Amino acid sequence: MSEKKTLTIALAGNPNSGKTTIFNNITGTRQKVGNWPGVTVEKKEGLINKFGYELKIVDLPGTYSLTPFSIEEIVARNFVLEESPDVIIDIIDSSNLERSLYLATQLREIDSKVLFALNMADLASSHGTKIDAEKLSNLLDVPVVFTVGNKNEGMDILLKEAIKLAESSPDKSENRNVKYSRDIENAITKIQGLIERKAKDRINYKTRWTAIKLLEDDKIVKERFVEKAGAAGEEILEETGVLRKYLLNAFDEDPEIVMTDDRYGFIAGIIKEVQTITVKQRVDVSRNIDLVLTNRFIGFPIFIFFIWAMFQLTFTLGAYPMDWIESGVSLISSYAGSIVPESLFKDLLINGIIGGVGSVIVFLPNILILFFCIALLEDTGYMARAAFIMDKIMHLIGLHGKSFIPMLMGFGCNVPAIMATRTLESEKDRILTILITPFMSCSAKLPVYIVLAGTFFAAKAGNVIFSLYLLGIILSIISGRLFRSTLLKGIDAPFVMELPPYRVPMLRSLMIHMWDRSKMFLKRMGGVILVGSVIVWSLSAFPRNVDYSADYSAEMDRANESFNIKIAAADEKGKELLKNERIVAIAEIEKAMNAVKTEKSYMGRIGKGVSPVFEPLGIDWRGSVSLLTGFFAKEIVVSTLGVLYSTEGPGDKDALKNALRSSGMTPLSALSMMVFVLLYLPCLATIAMIRKETASFKWTAFSIIYSTSVAWIASFCVFQGGKLLGFS
């Protein structure tokens, strides 16, 4: 049996064109997410078998043109040029044809095999816009397919056309490309002729496209051209410089501006030929919704309400499956305790692995709900509105609303949030956004909040958690204003925030987005959290020989003897009550013994050593140790508490909550600890990402020191201020 032929199909398009929705429709759950080689921009690929072919679908970062400004745009162009996919499907927003065709004309100039997917055809039709697909196909000599991504319409036709195009003979015609003004065309012809005579065999790009890019003074193309063409490349660049000066004098504008105008002129001609707009009475739903959601007076309160509702939903709805998982973990712990004989391994299994990992895995439902809500905000189009609403506030710190999108993504995870700052053109804007993003509380901190808020604030837990997230936003804005006034002085970057139309999200797309982000949480269960739990258990279980301040074995013997005498003298009903009392009494003695043992362990010694730093914050030595382990991953704070407080014995699903209540921790000290977790140094993965994105140890160290200092001061104010006000 012959192997299936593999074709690589790249999905390109403007942001908000529905590209990712189409990618999800085609690939479903058969996706692989990673990073592009050498950069940290997210890379999505899907491998499917369809129509007798193995199709590798690559979702390129959204871009408006092949003249790159941001890292994501550079990645998209490099893939198209260097990897030479068999077919490029350009996802075009049918309701914004003119804007979308700019990228389309540039893709045609590369002479790649391009297929147009006129997406959101239903939306365009509702706006009274009709596009003649056949004429558009003839004018640009590309196949055109209508699709409706959010209804999963046209996907099979799209793939069939892509396969047909991939198997067709190469198109050598340049007649359908943009025709520039006479002087520009003459300059392109001269440079193209030089390239063909002196450097054609040394470069991989089409000669006309290379000539256009050199004339546009594209720095990346110039560097690669000289690198490959050597001395001949230098000579051609000199001639290009002469031609650029001539064109500058002729047009009184840079050649790239003139060429951009020519492209738009070419596009305007196509629009007149293929698009007709009928005058019809219609209701612009998106615009009417925006009259409310982006209103200058009520838009911000509505945004705050949505965020509040998200965390209420996360806490209240997640409580039910959380209880089920917690009961399941408790059953596993009880079963393991009953079949494994008393040994060091049993202690490791029950208190280290099950106690540590189990104390974190119970929060999976809350994490899933949080990521579902974030995906809902993104897929409906509200995320862009949130950035628009925050634009004025962001201007207070010298940023624009676009910087708020990475910050909002930080609610899920700070690592991709910091990666998302690559869409910002200004270096100072990027660094400033990176420095303040860790104050946005990520999902890894949520288990800590749920444990402490659920234990000490019960019915008000949702409001407490919402207040923490709000505090993070406020302190990020204050910090940003401080940095912009001192370390990163600069003027506001001009920016127009694009507001895509509202869309009804597809449940399938929401579930894929939710699962993609939650997989990282599950992977950490078997990785850093498992390892961290074992390390914490090891430090708390050794040394094995501890000098106890009391003879707990004698106390247990005396208690047993005392209860045996009472049971012997009691009636049947009294005997049962006394037996239960004996179990409780023995458990209390064992609990006290375990507490002393933990306190005198290596972990206890570490905790006692650092506790003076945390005492003013109302955090005891066990909380201090938990915060130290949180440096590796914030979820380990909970697993550490689970190990250090595992004194109730297996089978008690409320063991951690009961232990926290009886440990001397108060609602005020719990709040202080939550504030510290919210603000102190990011996890190891985030720190590594800050180092990579800023390319500076200085900024990385500053981020660690600044955030931890702010955390200590804020927690101190909460705890000591609360005591002064009479709270406990």
Read off the pLDDT band of 651 (50, 70, 90). Answer: very low
pLDDT digits (tens, 9 = 90+) for 612-649: 999 999 998 888 888 888 887 787 888 788 777 754 44
Given this model, what pLDDT does residue 225 score?
81
126 occurs within a structural domain: yes
580 occurs within a structural domain: no
pLDDT digits (tens, 9 = 90+) for 226-260: 877 777 778 888 888 888 888 888 777 888 888 88
pLDDT digits (tens, 9 = 90+) for 104-155: 888 887 777 889 888 877 777 777 778 888 888 888 888 888 888 777 788 8
The answer to whether the CB of 41 falls within 8 A of the CB of 170 is no
Look up the CATH number of the domain holding residue 23. Answer: 3.40.50.300
Domain limits for position 315: 293-485
Whose tokens are 């999902």? That residue is 443
- Long-range CB pairs of 145-148, under 8 A, 24+ apart, other chains included: 145/115, 145/116, 145/117, 145/118, 146/94, 146/117, 146/118, 146/121, 147/18, 147/22, 147/91, 147/117, 147/118, 147/119, 147/121, 148/119, 148/120, 148/121, 148/122
- Indicate the DSSP class of residue 354: I
Amino acid at 314: T
Read off the pLDDT band of 500 (50, 70, 90). Answer: low
Is the per-residue pLDDT at 715 higher than 90? yes
Q: Which helix (H) or strand (E) holds 672?
A: helix 667-679
Given this model, what pLDDT does residue 706 score?
94
Distance CA 566, CA 585 (A): 14
Residue 308: C-alpha distances to residues 163, 512, 706 (Å): 48, 24, 28
158 plus 199 within the same structural domain: no
11 plus 57 within the same structural domain: yes
Whose tokens are 């570490």? That residue is 606
Distance CA 504, CA 662 (A): 49
Given this model, what pLDDT does residue 29 score?
61
Nearest to 144 by CA among 169, 118, 183, 171: 118
Mean pLDDT of the chain: 80
28 plus 146 within the same structural domain: yes
19 plus 111 within the same structural domain: yes
The answer to whether the CB of 7 falls within 8 A of the CB of 166 is yes
21 plus 118 within the same structural domain: yes
Show which of 277, 303, 332 is a domain's final residue: 277
204 occurs within a structural domain: yes
Read off the pLDDT band of 350 (50, 70, 90). Answer: confident
Amino acid at 442: C
Cα angle 191, 193, 194 (rounded to 5 degrees) comes to 65
Residue 278: C-alpha distances to residues 235, 270, 560 (Å): 54, 18, 91
Please report the DSSP string for 577-591 in residue order: HHHHHHHHHHHHHHH
Please count the other Cβ atoms lying within 10 Å of the Cβ belonging to residue 278. Answer: 10
366 plus 425 within the same structural domain: yes
Given this model, what pLDDT does residue 38 score?
46
Please report the DSSP string for 196-253 in residue order: HHHTGGG--S-HHHHHHHHHTT-HHHHHHHHHHHTHHHHHHHHHHHHHHHHHHHHHSS
381 occurs within a structural domain: yes
Read off the pLDDT band of 705 (50, 70, 90). Answer: very high
> How many Å separate Cα 575 from the centre of its chain?
59
Percent of the chain with pLDDT over 90: 6
317 plus 466 within the same structural domain: yes
Read off the pLDDT band of 175 (50, 70, 90). Answer: low
16 plus 158 within the same structural domain: yes
Is the per-residue pLDDT at 440 higher than 70? yes
Per the structure, the count of domains in the chain is 3
Whose tokens are 């905790």? That residue is 607
54 plus 158 within the same structural domain: yes
pLDDT digits (tens, 9 = 90+) for 260-316: 888 888 888 888 888 887 655 445 666 788 888 888 888 888 888 888 888 788 878
What is the bridge-based pairing of β-strands 31-35 and 53-59? unpaired
505 occurs within a structural domain: no
The answer to whether the CB of 598 falls within 8 A of the CB of 643 is no
425 occurs within a structural domain: yes
Is the per-residue pLDDT at 69 higher than 70? no
Show which of 124, 140, 166 is a domain's final residue: 166
272 plus 321 within the same structural domain: no
245 plus 352 within the same structural domain: no
Show which of 424, 458, 485 is a domain's final residue: 485
Is the per-residue pLDDT at 490 higher than 50? yes
Using DSSP's 3-state secondary structure scheme, residue 326 falls into helix
The answer to whether the CB of 529 falls within 8 A of the CB of 462 is no
229 occurs within a structural domain: yes
Nearest to 704 by CA among 718, 716, 691, 717: 691
Amino acid at 130: K
Read off the pLDDT band of 499 (50, 70, 90). Answer: low
Given this model, what pLDDT does residue 670 score?
92
Cα angle 592, 598, 602 (rounded to 5 degrees) comes to 160
Given this model, what pLDDT does residue 713 score?
95
456 plus 343 within the same structural domain: yes
Given this model, what pLDDT does residue 83 score?
80
More confident site: 123 or 327: 327
pLDDT digits (tens, 9 = 90+) for 379-415: 787 877 887 787 777 777 777 667 777 777 777 778 7
Window from 273-282, 507-516, 586-595, 685-694 with minimum mean pLDDT? 273-282
Is the per-residue pLDDT at 717 higher than 90? yes
For 396, the token pair is 């207070």
Nearest to 699 by CA among 515, 483, 416: 483
Read off the pLDDT band of 1 (50, 70, 90). Answer: very low
621 occurs within a structural domain: no
Cα angle 270, 273, 279 (rounded to 5 degrees) comes to 115
